[in-house]
Amino acid sequence: MSPSKGYIAAALRERIIQQAGRRCGYCLRTEALLGMPMTIDHIIPQAADGPTTEENLWLACRRCNEFKGGQTHAPDPETSEWIALFNPRQQTWAEHFAWSEDGVEILGKTPCGRATIIALQMNNPEIIVARRLWVSVGWWPPQD
């Protein structure tokens, strides 16, 4: 019997975890900070026929993965143009995002960054409260 669509072999799962440094490719939270395992995100969702291959998989926290869902594009809030979401496997986080001066908000530097922030609700009130707490104890923002 062949593995089901979407099945991720243990060796591939571990490779992705190591490649991603055990942190979400979107918001940069780590497993240690979350206190729970990350999920494996299909960058191009299975619903859009995205393959379960190393090139299409990356680590994501449950929050980012659930908000992303089946989305591949979202509107840039500045132009309303539909833009492809950030691809953590192929794109560099710092090229598209930055931290606010106080370290609690993710800022979009490009249309891709801005669209991804909106689509994944990366600055919603609940996460802002958590980041403020993390900043207050020196755990946030990530320094790399």
Q: How much is the average pLDDT of 101-111? A: 98
Q: Which of 108, 78, 76 is nearest to 93 (CA)?
A: 108
Question: Which residue has better confidence, 5 or 32?
Answer: 32
| Residue 2: predicted pLDDT | 40
pLDDT at 144 over 90: no
Q: What percent of the chain has pLDDT over 90?
A: 91
Per-residue pLDDT tens digits for 45-55:
999 999 999 99
| Residue 6: predicted pLDDT | 66
Per-residue pLDDT tens digits for 6-23:
689 999 999 999 999 999
Q: What is the mean pLDDT of the chain?
A: 94
Q: Compute the Cα dihedral for 90, 96, 97, 98 and give only its sign.
A: positive
DSSP per-residue string spanning the chain: -PPPTT---HHHHHHHHHHTTTB-TTT--BHHHHTS--EEEESS-GGGT---SGGGEEEE-HHHHHHHTT-SEEE-TTT--EEEPP-TTTS-HHHHEEE-TTSSSEEESSHHHHHHHHHTTTT-HHHHHHHHHHHHTT--S---
The pTM is what?
0.93
Phi, psi of 38 (to 5 degrees): -75, 170
Per-residue pLDDT tens digits for 66-100:
999 999 999 999 999 999 999 999 999 999 999 99
Q: What percent of the chain has pLDDT over 70?
A: 96
